Amino acid sequence: MPVKVVSEGPTASKQVTCSKCTYKLEYTGEDVQTSSGYSMGEHDVSFYIVCPRCGANTSVPAWSLREGRSWY
Ligand SMILES: [Zn+2]
């Protein structure tokens, strides 16, 4: 019998303070966006969430439940 998903999204969440409006936000791995680029000649991936209140990007630790793993 396959694993059954019973929640509508990841239930583990983290909180971060928006870098712009300073409201406290709660997010899950599904909310984490990634952007990749090059810095110092190395491939670099940054993780951020978009504040639903002011629309600013706030950096978060490399953590993505969507990928099903953690990089800590
Ligand atoms: Zn904000």
- pLDDT, residue 35, reads 87
- pLDDT, residue 66, reads 52
How many Å lie between the centroid of ligand 1 and the Cα of residue 48?
A: 12
- pLDDT, residue 63, reads 61
pLDDT tens, the chain, 72 aa long: 899 988 877 788 889 999 999 999 999 888 888 888 887 888 888 889 999 999 999 999 876 445 555 444
CB 16 within 8 A of CB 49: yes
How many Å lie between the centroid of ligand 1 and the Cα of residue 19?
A: 7
How many Å lie between the centroid of ligand 1 and the Cα of residue 3?
A: 36
pTM score: 0.69
How many Å lie between the centroid of ligand 1 and the Cα of residue 51?
A: 5
How many Å lie between the centroid of ligand 1 and the Cα of residue 25?
A: 8
Helix (H) or strand (E) holding 37: strand 33-39
